[in-house]
Structure 1
């Protein structure tokens, strides 16, 4: 079902337009569901003629689904007028085929009018006006000029006809509720997707640079309020340019993805691992002093050095250098991160594959004893 709803939806469009495309795809399925419901209802009432009519009406949404699928295969995206045509053709077939207006089926045109803003883009004012006008026109036409019901409907009796009339109103209300609920659901789903895209590094799946700075600011606030210690480690892959130059950028991407998985596995539950650019990563280590974070980073460094990583057809021994510091309120964020960067470059200049510490009370990074 989800694959059908996503069919032909252009991910490059805005969230509101994609939501309408999802709903457009859902319309034929919803119409088919309602026709099946009425077929079962008429069969339960013992009226074979109307049950048979409903079975015949199933051809319209089924053909509509086949038509939409065929158009999607040809590269044509969902369009609201297709959904409107399927809805209106099905209702008209029921009214003109024997149901008439006696059981109130024309009220569905009123429900289509109410759900128009969920399907038709608001910027398409002409399309919005045409769809609304068509829906209201059909409703008014059948409201003022009743279409006679077939003898099969009239044979049901006044009480049953009244029950069916009520059923149309209730089912139409239910359809309207589902449409509104679906619109809200797709809006929330798209918003979550957009937020995920804005906060996730596409290559590695890690949090990105933006999330790193957001989390750092949040943890600074928590430190001021609750005095919760935390540390930040910035690490860089040693000789990564050589990997790219020797094995190619695709192999380099493989190394980045494999390293990201190792970092995620080695991080604590409350820690946050981010890719902040190129071959550079950052780890925010929660509830740790500098000494505790140093032990964790040493273990992570050794784990990476001991794990062979795939790079194309080759297997490489990859190492990382890390700069590590503990946050203190007496320093600014800029000086804190600059100090960790100095510690990272000190680790590289000292031979790489090492963890060097930045002490807030010192002006330069110091190597651990």
Structure 2
């Protein structure tokens, strides 16, 4: 029962945090939407924590200041969530900023005054718009900062009469409250900045993965193959270890597209990618580098060992059924292999593997052919 409740709570929280991000394809705006939702939750947590603390202290003025913040906090939560849900992302940002400003003002003007320095929160509110507002909205972000700095300056210069009960607080209690307030400000800024950096790094990693991944097969693409190939060549030369490069092609793939249609051809390539990934070793790399052409990297592998592995791979593919029960479909593959020899450059090895692949096709397909790059 508790596990189910925990899962439902977790799902609800994750859904709340993602609210608004579905309305934009821009990764930056999606991140801003999530950050805004985190800001709303932090507002609720801060108000709740301080209200409970005020009740524990038992001071009438503090308790009043906590109670008057709760309606503003809940109203901000509802307003931001509904605006995000409706796709009014910028309106949601304004709801949050105006909500926290009104929240602090209510506590200050109706109860606390400047006794514990709650007006310093306006300095925090002058900073956070840069987290919530995108760069394209810099004017609104700047306006928010100016408004909050103006409120801070007004209360700092003008002052404000507190609730009489606030004057009964001892100096030690006031000091503790001020320290707690400063710590909360620092924690909020630190958390938002860390979350923003984490989201940016995560999104950048996702974009890099997308740029290096073939969308159809989810295998590394030509760009990723080239990067890995250069690294493996450098390592092979540094460690004086063998490196095998393979080029693999689906035999008569055009006929599959012509007879069965391109959707079936795409299905065949996806299944083939799965078979290749399952049959090759963890240290090997297979990438889709063309329409029906794949490239292999086999580090620390001699040519004869690579031939054995690729023969098993070829047989597995020939025995696999790539169609459906009602429409069975068998395919075969041809593979050309080349070994990095001393003095060979990267392109020469690739040409040698390509030459071996063409030889395999000319000899009747469905076979593995070796070619030493040093002899290319």
Match for residue 41 of structure 2?
Answer: 29
Give the Cα–Cα distance (whole angstroms) in 2 for the partners of residues 152 and 302 of structure 1.
Answer: 86
Deviation at residue 195 of structure 1 after TM alignment: 1.5
In structure 1, list runs of 5 or more residues that go unmatched: 364-369
Which of 49, 52, 68 is the matching residue for 1:40?
52
DSSP-derived class of the 2:298 partner: strand
1:1-369 mapped onto 2 (5 Å cutoff): 1-9=13-21, 12-13=25-26, 15=28, 17-47=29-59, 50-51=62-63, 54=66, 57-77=69-89, 80-310=93-323, 314-363=327-376
Give the Cα–Cα distance (whole angstroms) in 2 for the partners of residues 115 and 70 of structure 1.
Answer: 21
Query: Are the counterparts in 2 of residues 251 and 312 from structure 1 also a CA contact under 8 Å?
Result: no
Deviation at residue 213 of structure 1 after TM alignment: 0.7
Give the Cα–Cα distance (whole angstroms) in 2 for the partners of residues 348 and 37 of structure 1.
Answer: 73
Deviation at residue 57 of structure 1 after TM alignment: 2.8
TM-score, reference length from structure 2: 0.86
Show CA shifts across 1:7-59 (max 9, x none).
333664364x5543432232111111111111221222234774465355344
What is the RMSD of the two structures over their aligned residues, measured on CA atoms? 2.6
Query: Are the counterparts in 2 of residues 231 and 327 from structure 1 also a CA contact under 8 Å?
Result: yes
In structure 2, list runs of 5 or more residues that go unmatched: 1-12
TM-score, reference length from structure 1: 0.88
Deviation at residue 2 of structure 1 after TM alignment: 4.3
Give the Cα–Cα distance (whole angstroms) in 2 for the partners of residues 58 and 273 of structure 1.
Answer: 58
Structure 1 runs (4+) deviating above 6 angstroms are: none
Paired residues in the alignment total 362
DSSP-derived class of the 2:246 partner: strand
Deviation at residue 283 of structure 1 after TM alignment: 1.5
Task: Answer 1 or 2: which has greater helix percent.
Answer: 2
Query: Are the counterparts in 2 of residues 100 and 147 from structure 1 also a CA contact under 8 Å?
Result: yes
56 and 237 in structure 1: CA distance in 2 versus 1, 3 angstrom threshold: farther
203 and 128 in structure 1: CA distance in 2 versus 1, 3 angstrom threshold: same
Deviation at residue 166 of structure 1 after TM alignment: 2.0
Deviation at residue 126 of structure 1 after TM alignment: 2.0
